[in-house]
């Protein structure tokens, strides 16, 4: 490590995929590697997760990146068609596609009805059962399903929905969404499609009878549940952290009572303190508005941040750590400091912390 580094443990990805398999032994697995594999590196993560059945990516560009890297696993484009021109690229790459709006059918018909498609497409038809984001109404779903079944360029159709509150197992919307999806799938004219409902949280809290599961966050060793739910923290779920983010301790200074630390005087020393400066900041992806007291680890001991995070630096309390020396690595999150705990303290979610690690941070895959 020079200044800062994210070390990605590929065996942890493989371990967490195996945990997902045990939670859904009868299901095929779509491994979510969108958004640069949640910040872990798209292609290296895909290679580590090669035992998955399908890779889930955001758009056609991520799909083509995998193909260019020689990864021939089926790829599902989760955000569907961004532009009509995407369709021929989807056909060329034989990618799977989420269909989530009536306009998609119009675009597909205009492009594909007049040409010969060598390999029929696998389409995932998405129902908005209560998420209120992307997806079809029940009526639109039935209409598109009937129309797509008649197309020669369609192979398999898979029915998909996404739960808004799976991370809150007792939330009433979970049951409403499941009932909405189940009711639609029981209609005689919709008999046949494979189904996909659960993602990371649902794999731990819901009975999964669907043919497809879509683990995402759990693959990277983070819990999809609140940090305050101690029984569902990542270690309790059998998950292993895949990313360790660490930076160098580059300065140590003794401060007096009343000294101000950092921008806007967010921290005033209540007593004489030993303060260290760490070579990590918001330009590396560490949250700028992190409150005082966020946990870090140095020399095998936990301590906390003090003061406002700068672009390239942050301050930590070394008062009770005389063994800390300039040049030592400081773990910001990883095996000892959970990214979930950091997310809780900073008022965000671990999804954001992991995926926001900046491009300038070297990623070392081991």
Q: Phi/psi of residue 315, each to 5°?
A: -105, 145
Q: Is 263 a catalytic residue?
A: yes
Q: β-pairing, 28-32 with 4-8?
A: unpaired
Give the Cα separation of 162 and 201 in Å (integer): 11
β strands within 128-176, DSSP E: 154-161
Give the Cα separation of 135 and 126 in Å (integer): 5
Q: What is the DSSP string of 218-270?
A: GGGT--SS-TT-GGGSTTTTT----EEEEEEEEEEEEE-TT-EESGGG-EE-S
CB-CB contact of 328 with 299 (8 Å): yes
Annotate 300-316 with b (16+ C-beta within 10 A) or e (fewer): eeebebbbbbbebbbbb
Tokens of 364: 């070392």
Active-site entry in 38, 68, 263, 286: 263
**Strand, helix or coil at 192?**
coil
Active-site entry in 34, 126, 151, 244: 34
User: Quick count: other Cβ atoms within 10 Å of Cβ 226?
Assistant: 15
Q: Is 34 a catalytic residue?
A: yes
Q: What is the DSSP letter of 86?
A: H
Question: Which residues pair with residue 77 across a beta bridge?
Answer: 57, 97
Q: Which residues are catalytic?
A: 34, 263
């Amino acid at each position: 490590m020079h200044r800062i580094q994210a070390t990605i443990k590929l065996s942890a990805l493989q371990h967490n995929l195996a945990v997902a398999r045990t939670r859904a032994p009868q299901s095929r697995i779509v491994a979510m590697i969108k958004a640069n594999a949640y910040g872990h590196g798209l292609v290296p993560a895909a290679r580590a997760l090669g035992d998955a059945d399908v890779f889930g990516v955001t758009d056609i560009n991520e799909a083509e990146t995998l193909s260019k890297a020689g990864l021939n696993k089926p790829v599902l484009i989760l955000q569907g068609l961004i532009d009509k021109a995407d369709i021929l690229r989807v056909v060329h790459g034989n990618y799977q596609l989420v269909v989530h709006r009536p306009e998609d059918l119009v675009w597909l018909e205009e492009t594909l009805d007049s040409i010969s498609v060598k390999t029929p497409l696998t389409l995932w038809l998405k129902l908005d059962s209560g998420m209120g984001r992307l997806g079809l109404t029940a009526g639109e779903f039935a209409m598109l399903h009937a129309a797509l079944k008649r197309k020669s360029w369609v192979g398999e159709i898979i029915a998909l929905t996404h739960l808004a509150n799976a991370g809150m197992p007792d939330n009433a919307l979970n049951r409403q969404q499941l009932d909405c999806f189940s009711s639609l799938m029981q209609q005689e004219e919709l008999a046949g499609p494979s189904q996909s409902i659960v993602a990371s949280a649902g794999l731990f809290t819901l009975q999964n009878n669907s043919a497809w599961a879509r683990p995402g966050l759990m693959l990277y060793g983070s819990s999809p549940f609140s940090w305050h739910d101690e029984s569902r923290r990542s270690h309790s779920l059998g998950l292993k952290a895949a990313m360790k983010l660490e930076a160098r301790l580059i300065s140590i200074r003794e401060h007096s009572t009343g000294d101000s630390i950092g921008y806007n005087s967010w921290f005033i020393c209540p007593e004489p303190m030993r303060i260290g400066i760490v070579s990590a900041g918001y330009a590396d992806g560490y949250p700028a508005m992190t409150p005082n007291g966020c946990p870090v680890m140095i020399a095998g001991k936990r301590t906390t941040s003090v003061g406002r995070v700068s672009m390239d630096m942050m301050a930590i309390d070394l008062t009770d750590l005389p063994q800390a020396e300039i040049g030592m690595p400081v773990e910001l999150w990883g095996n000892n400091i959970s990214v979930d705990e950091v997310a809780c303290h900073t008022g965000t979610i671990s999804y954001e912390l992991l995926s926001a690690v900046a491009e300038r941070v070297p990623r070392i895959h081991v």
